[in-house]
Structure 1
Amino acid sequence: MASASPVLQLGLLRMRPLQYWLKFRVPPSAWGAVCDGRPAFGSWSQEESLLHINCLEMLAVMKALQFFQVTDGQMSLLVFSVPLLLVVAVMKALSCSPLSALCRQVYSGILKLLHRKVCVSSTHAFVFSNCTHGQAQSVLLTFDLYSTTHASSNIGPQKGEFLDEIVAREAPLRVLELGTHCGYASVRILRLLPPSGKLLTVELDPLTADRGEEIILVAGFKNQQFQVLTCSSAEAISSLRSHTGNDGLDLVLMDHDPELYLQDLLALQRGNLLSSSCVVLINRALTPGARDLVEHVTARPQSFSVGRQLHGLMEIRCHTGMSPKPQN
């Protein structure tokens, strides 16, 4: 490849002299890469494994560049991907590469499309028809059964058990869920809330919101225990005080658009809507869209502490919420 050293015109992309080869393999369950004799590898999350192979390849490039800490703006790479033999020229560091930015945009778009399409009609119909109405555990098991053979955007049983542990430990009285989907996480949360606890769950898509609310009712919960807000996360947060009164949120689950995670967290803080020991759970914490929030909280240890993480579900403890109420 030494003959590639002259500048090569590829549309608007110009290659610098080649410095490194990245060789990839992207099977359905994992990814691997070798750069200058050094290996890097990892497993796909349940959600990532549902993506098309082309999207996985772009995601693998981003993961490998982060692993190998590509930071030199003059560095150029040639990425060789198997099995599609896709050759990608990456011209600058991950943070400023136009091609890397394109990879992130395409990946983010495909992920959003996946979440819109896989959840609504078929998942709802299967769960509604096959679960035992009035039994939350049966609803969850039916969701899990469906997910073994169909694409689904719910968090699944492994992350679900992690969520269960957080809810049981925190015993939250006010919970905000951003991203209802088909109601899977809502049911998991509601069955573990204290008697006076309440869930507010937000879903932008009206059809998904209706289907999710119906599943929550099928699981046996009453309208007094939860409320589905059909609006954007920003609209929900701006009107949250009318639903919670002076009570702060004890638990927030973010499972909507990862690119909105940071701005929504900041909006919750500006509105003084978080309790003094609020826990924020973010799903898909490892995706490019969530990077801004993860970097924000890790850079502020006086305000946040990052707890456990399981398959991209990350626990964050906030230390900047409302002041504790005085004891009588």
Structure 2
Amino acid sequence: MKQGFMIQEQWSAVDRYFTDLLVPSDTALDAALDTSAAAGLPPHNVSPNQGKLLLLLAQLQGARTILEIGTLGGYSTIWLARALPPDGRLITLEADPKHAQVALANIARAGLAEIVELRLGRALSTLEQLATEGSGPFDLIFIDADKPSNPDYLAWALKLCRRGSLIIADNVVRDGEVVNAASEDPSVQGVRRFNELLATERRVSATAIQTVGSKGYDGFALALVTTD
């Protein structure tokens, strides 16, 4: 137990080192974390380093339209929205009214209210509504909501994408439990099914990266849509 604590301390120290060097303090982002914590939201937001990675990936993608599944307090939303051009748009989906209220305030404080649209409701229902409305195709889709629904989120993401779109899914390692086929954790099983679907989906080229840091041991999947 002591060794595990020491390893986590080292991971967090390295995260702080890179954050201090490469991710300067930002008033709006810091406030988003502070207000989320004060409101009692779960600390499931991405780390600053991971937020910067999302911004860079969106910029590399040249994204003009982004869909985020799972808003929480809007921290990752702010990172992604900042990668958009002035006429870009980001739609973020959140099921919890309290989370949505906090997120909207954080997004407005960051000056992004004109770019970001928050849709309140169960993501599976909202995704169907987006498809019915003819929304999309989105250049980038970030999946970071309830993990048991990840397979369904992937199916909808593929309907709302185009060739060249990028799909990113967070938390696909689950402290290494992803390799445990006998796990009774619905989140682990949801992630396993998501990964298996990526492996057999002919329309994408995908990989997954393990990460360590202040958020512990986890990882994310990247899938490029290569054909319609």
TM-score, normalised by the number of residues in structure 1: 0.52
- In structure 1, the residue matched to 2:45 is 154
Q: Whole-Å Cα distance in 1 between the matches of residues 61 and 91 of structure 2?
A: 17
Offset at 1:45?
8.4
Matching residue's letter, 2:62: A
Identity %: 20
Offset at 1:165?
1.5
Q: 1:198 aligns with which of 56, 81, 89?
A: 89
Normalized per residue, which structure has more helix?
2
Shift in alpha-carbon separation, 1:227–1:146, aligned structure 2, 3 A: closer
Offset at 1:280?
0.7
Residues 1:240 and 2:130 are matched in the alignment: yes
- Aligned-residue Cα RMSD (Å) equals 3.1
- In structure 2, the residue matched to 1:6 is none
- In structure 2, the residue matched to 1:228 is 118
Q: Whole-Å Cα distance in 2 between the matches of residues 286 and 262 of structure 1?
A: 15
- In structure 1, the residue matched to 2:79 is 188
Q: Whole-Å Cα distance in 2 between the matches of residues 44 and 290 of structure 1?
A: 27
- In structure 2, the residue matched to 1:317 is 224
Q: Encode CA deviations 1:153-177: one digit per residue, 9 max, x unaligned.
A: 1101121121121111012122111
Matching residue's letter, 2:66: V
* SS at structure 1 position matched to 2:5: coil
Matching residue's letter, 2:79: R
Shift in alpha-carbon separation, 1:292–1:29, aligned structure 2, 3 A: farther
Deviates more, 1:136-145 or 1:205-214: 136-145
Normalized per residue, which structure has more strand?
1
Matching residue's letter, 1:140: L
Offset at 1:250?
0.9
Residues 1:275 and 2:162 are matched in the alignment: yes
Shift in alpha-carbon separation, 1:277–1:181, aligned structure 2, 3 A: same
Shift in alpha-carbon separation, 1:145–1:29, aligned structure 2, 3 A: farther
Could you tell me which runs of 5 or more consecutive residues in structure 1 were left unpaired when the two chains were aligned. Answer: 1-23, 32-42, 47-135, 322-328
Contact 1:297 1:303 in 2 (8 A): no
Q: Whole-Å Cα distance in 1 between the matches of residues 68 and 115 of structure 2?
A: 14
Offset at 1:256?
0.3
Aligned residues: 192
Q: Whole-Å Cα distance in 2 between the matches of residues 309 and 195 of structure 1?
A: 31
Matching residue's letter, 1:28: F
Contact 1:248 1:274 in 2 (8 A): yes
Q: Whole-Å Cα distance in 2 between the matches of residues 44 and 227 of structure 1?
A: 38
- In structure 2, the residue matched to 1:306 is 206
- In structure 2, the residue matched to 1:27 is 4
* SS at structure 2 position matched to 1:239: helix
Shift in alpha-carbon separation, 1:241–1:147, aligned structure 2, 3 A: closer
Q: Encode CA deviations 1:221-277: one digit per residue, 9 max, x unaligned.
A: 13x3111111111111111146654x40111111101111111211333xx321211
Offset at 1:214?
0.9
Contact 2:143 2:153 in 1 (8 A): no
Shift in alpha-carbon separation, 1:159–1:299, aligned structure 2, 3 A: same
Q: Whole-Å Cα distance in 2 between the matches of residues 237 and 139 of structure 1?
A: 28
Offset at 1:192?
1.3
Q: 1:212 aligns with which of 92, 95, 103?
A: 103
Q: Which has the higher contact order (CA 8 A, sep 6+)?
A: 2
TM-score, normalised by the number of residues in structure 2: 0.73
Shift in alpha-carbon separation, 1:225–1:145, aligned structure 2, 3 A: closer
Q: Encode CA deviations 1:43-75: one digit per residue, 9 max, x unaligned.
A: 9988xxxxxxxxxxxxxxxxxxxxxxxxxxxxx
Contact 2:141 2:157 in 1 (8 A): no
Offset at 1:28?
3.0
Matching residue's letter, 1:252: I
Offset at 1:298?
2.0
Q: Whole-Å Cα distance in 2 between the matches of residues 308 and 138 of structure 1?
A: 32
